[in-house]
Amino acid sequence: MNVSTGSSAEGPAAFPLSERMGRLTAANRAFALVTVVDGPVIGAKMLLTDEERWGSLGAAGIDARVARDARADLAVGWTGLRYYGRNGEPTETDITLMVDSHRAPPSMLIFGAVDFSVALAEVAKLLGYDVSVCDPRSAFATAKRFPMADRIHNIWPDKVFGQLPEPLGPRDAVCVLTHDSKLDIPAIRHALATDAGYIGVMGSRRTHADRTERLLEAGVSETDLERLMSPIGLDIGARTPAETAISIMAEIIANDTGRSVPRLRDTDGPIH
């Protein structure tokens, strides 16, 4: 880890924190700015990324503790107030800090321009996702139907992943809602080749069983199949596109937070 408190040529003495933030923003890198808003050194700042740190909060013993906590906040994009003792004690309130996290929004890639996709795109956008919709049928995947989408891809699934702004990572989600094996099989195969944290696929249990056979025939391993949330969503009795979108987003949130929830994948019987 590289740490600078301003004494080296690479510290804030060479580049003010505001300039460093500009450089990080231009490079699309995540960072957190921590500012003392109440305490012995009001206005002191510390800037950090996952690996680097610049500046100091001006209190002995607090920088390392705050940096650890702020990186955890940055990982989930949290912004808010934290309280510490003068030496970083987490149970005291001598110092009030503002943690301001900046990171690119998580991505959601939706396959299939169906009514369920419209609802899911709306809810995902509301929750701060960068939304992409993919369907080679240009008559269905249009800006008029998906005004909330950040981008629309009228191409086949195997072409989409190379056109995303960034490779998919653990914060990102892929939702396959096509009900068409010509689309969903290649979409799933390519999604499994990424580091996407969530891959959900719509369909009945019978459809899932048939799809599983097709995927195995296409060379997908049993281990990879375990990554699929299929049938997609939580078991909340959702029926309408809007209700289904909520059940999907709830499952994604639970997946991100590690909560144990009633997933449709893990239950028996009819979905509806």
pLDDT, tens only, 12-59: 344 689 999 999 988 878 899 999 999 989 999 999 998 999 999 987
Q: Which residues make Cβ contacts (< 8 Å) with residue 89, sequence separation at least 6?
A: none
* CATH match for 107-266 among 3.40.50.720, 3.20.20.80, 2.60.120.260, 3.50.50.100: 3.40.50.720
pLDDT, tens only, 129-145: 999 999 999 999 999 99
Cα–Cα dist 70/58, whole Å: 16
pLDDT, tens only, 156-173: 998 999 888 788 998 899
Cα–Cα dist 146/262, whole Å: 30
In 3D space, the residue among 53, 57, 92 whose CA is nearest the CA of residue 74 turns out to be 53
pTM: 0.72
| Residue reference for tokens 């809810």 | 123
Where exactly does CATH 3.40.50.720 map onto the chain?
107-266
β-pair partners for 96: 38, 83
Q: Which residue has the higher pLDDT, 3 or 137?
A: 137
